[in-house]
Amino acid sequence: MNISQLRTFLAVIEHGSFSDAAKALGISQPAVTMQIQSLEGDLGVTLLDRRYRRIDLTEAGRLLVPHARKTVAEVQSARDAIEQLSGEVGGRLEIAASTTPGVYVVPRLLGAFDARYPKVDVSVSVHDTAEVVERVEDGRAQLGVSGAIVRNAKATFDRIADDELVLISPPDSPLASRPGLTADDLAHAEWIVRESGSGTRSTTERALASAGIDLTALNAVVQLGTGEAIVSAVEGGLGIAMVSRMVADKALRLGSVIQLHPRGLKVVRPFFAVMPKGTPTRAASAFAAFLHDALEGGEVGVAPAPGTGARVGA
């Protein structure tokens, strides 16, 4: 059993197929198959059930997963520690980001970060907030960017920016021409919402609850997995929704949706850099500092958080 076999095993689980794992690892599909077969041969067990065109973990495979993740993380940590001796920042940096920062913030910074730290190999994956934090906790990611804090997480949260959420509707909605929208108007509207676990959804729910709206009675006609899908649904006349201004910006400028302005409802959602408790890798520290400076300079369209730099142990 070696580290390459364990990396391949985890990649197959992560991507759900041998072919997708091969693409992610930059190797051929037969090489992935050989690595898995060698690992199963070394251990004397079957780790993956490959029947019915699906890949499922066997009992032995499920037992191996946490050990494989821990081993891969420790090997990476050792590499990072050794690279520190050279005085250069390098190595692999896995970033897990929730949807809005993962689509609209982090990718815009990668070019400039690569120019400054060319020896860092960056990979970005997008998940809901709960999954972002889980990946940082178990070492699959060395840094996360989320739209909310997960309580009791084994991670630290550094508030790095504030993102405005806006309430949007189709231009021909009756609400669009109604002056002085009230909580009662919103409570009886048809809503399009994000999936459970999304930072946007939890922020929206808190804002509506503070406005006196009973969330259990909210008329949510559909639940969608991305802000872009929600904007498209609003454009299609399905209902109203609250999304990041960054997500809605193009549709607002085109006039395919409009912004509603309910009395007393101004919603700001923070973005956090999520780091593991303990000593982060040099690459993670470098990207966190780079991210902080870029957001403070207003380079990606979000406001710097007031009093940035405060770490919150959650």
pLDDT band at 114 (very low <50, low <70, confident <90, very high): very high
Report how far residue 46's alpha carbon sits from residue 23's, in angstroms, rounded to the nearest whole number: 23
Structural contact between residues 251 and 231, judged by C-beta atoms closer than 8 angstroms: yes
User: Minimum mean pLDDT among 40-54, 89-103, 158-172: which range?
Assistant: 40-54
- The top-scoring range by mean pLDDT among 93-97, 215-219, 281-285 is 93-97
Q: How confident is the model at residue 52 (pLDDT cuts 50, 70, 90)?
A: low
Rounded average pLDDT over 299-305: 61
Q: How confident is the model at residue 84 (pLDDT cuts 50, 70, 90)?
A: low
Q: Give me the mean pLDDT over the 17-40 stretch.
A: 87
| pLDDT band per the 50, 70, 90 thresholds, residue 311 | very low
Amino acid 274: pLDDT: 94
Determine which helix (DSSP H) or strand (DSSP E) holds 98, and give its type and residue range.
strand 91-98
Would the pLDDT of 314 be above 60? no
Q: Who wins on pLDDT, 16 or 258?
A: 258
Closest to 110 (Cα-Cα) out of 120, 84, 100, 305: 120
CA angle (47, 50, 52) in 5-degree steps? 150
C-alpha distance across the termini of the chain, in Å:
36
Confidence of residue 186 (pLDDT cuts 50, 70, 90): confident
Mean pLDDT of the chain: 85
Could you tell me if 244 and 100 are in contact, meaning their C-beta atoms sit under 8 angstroms apart? yes
Lowest average pLDDT, out of 74-83, 124-133, 172-181, 186-195, goes to 74-83
**3 state DSSP class of 194:** strand
pLDDT of residue 133: 92
- pTM as predicted: 0.66
142 pLDDT higher than 50: yes
